[in-house]
Amino acid sequence: MRIHNIYVDDAGETHWRDVEVKWVEERNGSKLSARLPATGIIFRETGGDYDLSWHPAPRRQYIINLDGGVTITASDGEARDIGAGEVILVEDVRGKGHLSKSIGGKMRHSIFVPIE
């Protein structure tokens, strides 16, 4: 299972990398990761006309895309389309940040899971 991770380097530029979930347990036909820290849950609905200019993330958090899609562009120019069911770990809380734009003009529902 892959998690998209957007992070900021020492120069304030954002980049993408992939983080693989590490499985630590198998039970009842399922694989489980270790329990990760979280401080809450936020539900979000984003309109289909969403097109946000450069911004850093408000906090370190996981974003779980439930439906719709979003294109997120790092300041190094790499863009990723994040679809339904995909997970992002946003860690670019300083620096230039990233661009976010809806895909196909569709409303998107997502869950934010703050980790600080």
Q: Inform me whether the pLDDT recorded for 10 exceeds 90.
A: yes
- Select from 20, 9, 21 the least CA-distant residue to 74: 9
Sequence-distant (≥ 6) Cβ neighbours of residue 84 within 8 angstroms: 65, 66, 67, 68, 69
pLDDT 10s digits, 41-61 = 999 999 999 999 999 999 999
pLDDT 10s digits, 22-36 = 999 999 999 999 999
Domains and CATH numbers, the chain: 2-114 (2.60.120.10)
pTM of the model: 0.93
Would you state the structure tokens that stand for residue 23, as one six-digit string?
């499985």
H helices of 1-116, in order, are none
**Would you state the pLDDT for residue 112?**
98
**Would you state the pLDDT for residue 98?**
98
Would you state the structure tokens that stand for residue 100, as one six-digit string?
């976010």
